[in-house]
């Protein structure tokens, strides 16, 4: 199972991230039978002028039966809007995830303390998974203790992978849409 990919033609089973073009123009989408998808506003897009339009697309797609997860969404201190603005966007995704009972796929760069604090504050019922986890084992243990799942791609720390219990661990390609 490829837990997270941007490759629309990824081998199945996979959770394919809905591309921005499909968020803006759902009629252009070409869903594959038996594929599953995730829909979210990427934190890198939170400063874009069309962020609200992308979000409208996320809300529509989120209801689709083949969309099994909300995301990727999250916090990135190196790109996108300010962390305050990104947090507001993330909270909107959390509300959607809770309302539809679909789990959350998170992108997190240098904002783990903020994500942990948000999870404590909002106490979500849905699973939160940090995709593309590259952190060290201590951080993996800390996140697992807070109830997170972790998804690993080819850039990963072997000791962190080993430190993550199998039931909290996913594998992904995060491949580009090529």
Q: Which is nearer to Zn ion, 76 or 174 (CB)?
A: 174
Q: Which is nearer to Zn ion, 73 or 96 (CB)?
A: 73
Minimum gap (Å) between residue 69 Cβ and Zn ion: 12
Minimum gap (Å) between residue 17 Cβ and Zn ion: 6
Minimum gap (Å) between residue 107 Cβ and Zn ion: 6
- Residues 143, 164: contact at Cβ < 8 Å? no
Minimum gap (Å) between residue 168 Cβ and Zn ion: 19
Minimum gap (Å) between residue 121 Cβ and Zn ion: 25
Q: Which is nearer to Zn ion, 15 or 118 (CB)?
A: 15
Q: How many CB atoms lie within 10 A of CB 102?
A: 20
Quick note: the x/- pattern for Zn ion over 127-156, rule CB under 5 A, is ------------------------------
Q: Which is nearer to Zn ion, 35 or 141 (CB)?
A: 35
Q: How many residues bind Zn ion (CB under 5 A)?
A: 1
Minimum gap (Å) between residue 38 Cβ and Zn ion: 9
Nearest CA among 88, 71, 58, 96 for reference residue 3: 71
Q: Which is nearer to Zn ion, 105 or 164 (CB)?
A: 105
**Residue number with the shortest CB distance to Zn ion?**
174
DSSP string computed for the chain: -EEEE--TTPPSSEEEEPPHHHHH-GGG--PPTT-EEEE---GGGTTSTTHHHHHHHHHHHHTSTTEEEEEEEEEESSSSS-HHHHHHHHHHHHHHHHHHT--EEEEEES-HHHHHHHHHHH--SS-EEESS----HHHHHHHHHTT-EEEE-SS--HHHHHHS-GGGEEE-------
Cα separation, 170 vs 72, whole angstroms: 15
Q: Which is nearer to Zn ion, 2 or 174 (CB)?
A: 174
Residues in region 159-178 near Zn ion by CB under 5 A: 174
Residues near Zn ion, by CB under 5 A = 174
């Amino acid at each position: 199972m490829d837990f997270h990919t941007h490759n629309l033609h990824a081998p199945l089973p996979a959770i394919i991230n809905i591309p921005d073009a499909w968020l803006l123009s759902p009629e252009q989408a070409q869903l594959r039978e038996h594929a599953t998808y995730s829909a979210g506003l990427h934190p890198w897009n939170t400063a874009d002028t069309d962020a609200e339009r992308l979000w409208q697309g996320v809300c529509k797609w989120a209801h689709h039966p083949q969309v099994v997860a909300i995301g990727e969404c999250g916090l990135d201190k190196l790109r996108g809007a300010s962390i305050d603005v990104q947090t507001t966007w993330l909270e909107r995704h959390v509300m959607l995830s809770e309302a539809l009972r679909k789990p959350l796929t998170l992108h997190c760069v240098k904002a783990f303390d903020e994500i942990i604090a948000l999870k404590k504050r909002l106490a979500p019922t849905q699973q939160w998974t940090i995709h593309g986890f590259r952190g060290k084992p201590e951080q993996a243990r800390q996140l697992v203790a807070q109830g997170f799942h972790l998804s690993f791609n080819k850039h990963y720390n072997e000791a962190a992978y080993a430190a993550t219990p199998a039931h909290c661990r996913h594998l992904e390609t995060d491949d580009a849409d090529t």
